[in-house]
Amino acid sequence: MILVTGGAGYIGSHTCVELLNKGYDIVVVDDLSNSNAKALERVKLLTGREFPFYGMDVCDQTALDKVCKVHKPTCVIHFAAFKSVPESIAVPTKYYENNDVYHRNFESNGAARHKANCIFVIGNGIRRFQ
């Protein structure tokens, strides 16, 4: 099972299509702040496969832990980062909390506790943790 955060976004939804077409099972978490649930419906139409979706903020550690306990992901692909340069200058705390604090929390707590391999994708930067 692969957990795809931000799976309703442009890159996330395309990744979901590829994963499902390759035979992987996925679970998607997305708060839909920069995306639309219609993208996930299109993923299901394109692949003919169903998958669980949780409309939630990835910074909600308690809720994310529940998703991990239920689905036991072996890998996490994280696309749920904010990416607007003008907004990051105007509201830097929002970006820090979402893009940095979440990564550290999940890397130190979530990934270790759930024994998942993690791939974090932010814009053109990719970090992998095991």
CATH code for the domain in which residue 35 is found: 3.40.50.720
Question: Are the beta carbons of 30 and 6 closer than 8 angstroms?
Answer: yes
The pLDDT tens digits for 61-116 are: 888 888 988 999 988 888 877 777 787 788 888 777 767 766 666 665 555 566 66
Full-model pTM: 0.80
Q: Are 79 and 5 in contact (CB under 8 A)?
A: yes
**Count of domains forming the chain:** 1
Q: Which residues contact 42 (CB under 8 A, 6 or more apart)?
A: 13
pLDDT at 128 over 50: no
Residue 49's pLDDT is: 98
CB 15 within 8 A of CB 3: no
Q: Give whole-number Cα distances, 124 to 11, 78, 81, 110, 127, in Å.
A: 12, 13, 12, 23, 10
